[in-house]
């Protein structure tokens, strides 16, 4: 089961690679309701939806594991180990936390998410997700709240208790 970040240029390549070894079911968020997305795109909702989707499909067709690309990796890291898949394949935009990644991009005066069709100003995003003032809005189909909740999550630390096969392929 592949949670695809719709903003990535490389999703087709990732799916092609995964298809060499697995039958891939792609999960894509197609919600167009901007207000609903701003108000419900958060850590708890993503976890509940992800676990529900995984369990529904796994009851009908036994799943080998979970895969995710881009910013979709953030919520998979959070709930993926709870469903105990035998494998997790991640294709993140960065290996560190989102905050560390943004600070690095700022220090090199580079945009964030250059793998996206529309890269983002790193300083602007860092300021928004670290502000004490609640912000509302979407960046490339992700709410500020979603990014704010996952800003300090580091895959290699959070996934240490996972005992299955973990493959992390950072996208360049």
Residue 141 pLDDT > 90: no
Q: 142-143 and 138-139: which strand pairing?
A: antiparallel
Q: What is the pLDDT of residue 156?
A: 80
Dump pLDDT digits (tens) for 36-48: 777 788 888 889 9
* pTM score, whole prediction: 0.90
Dump pLDDT digits (tens) for 78-105: 899 889 999 999 999 999 999 999 999 9
> For residues 112 and 126, what is the distance between their CA atoms, to the nearest angstrom?
10
Residue 127 pLDDT > 90: yes
């Amino acid at each position: 089961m592949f949670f695809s970040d719709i903003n990535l240029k490389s999703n087709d390549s990732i799916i092609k690679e995964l298809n060499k070894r697995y039958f891939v079911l792609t999960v894509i968020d197609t919600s167009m309701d901007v207000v609903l997305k701003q108000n419900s795109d958060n850590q708890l909702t993503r976890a509940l939806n992800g676990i529900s989707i995984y369990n529904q499909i796994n009851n009908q067709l036994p799943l080998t594991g979970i895969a995710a690309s881009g910013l979709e990796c953030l919520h998979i890291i959070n709930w993926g180990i709870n469903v105990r898949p035998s494998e997790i394949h991640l294709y993140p935009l960065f290996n560190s936390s989102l905050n560390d990644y943004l600070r690095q991009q700022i220090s090199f005066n580079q945009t964030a998410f250059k793998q996206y069709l529309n890269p983002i100003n790193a300083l602007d995003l860092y300021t928004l997700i670290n502000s004490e003032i609640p912000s509302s809005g979407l960046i490339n189909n992700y709410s500020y709240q979603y990014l704010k909740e996952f800003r300090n999550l580091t895959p290699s630390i959070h996934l240490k208790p996972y005992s299955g096969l973990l493959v992390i392929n950072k996208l360049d």
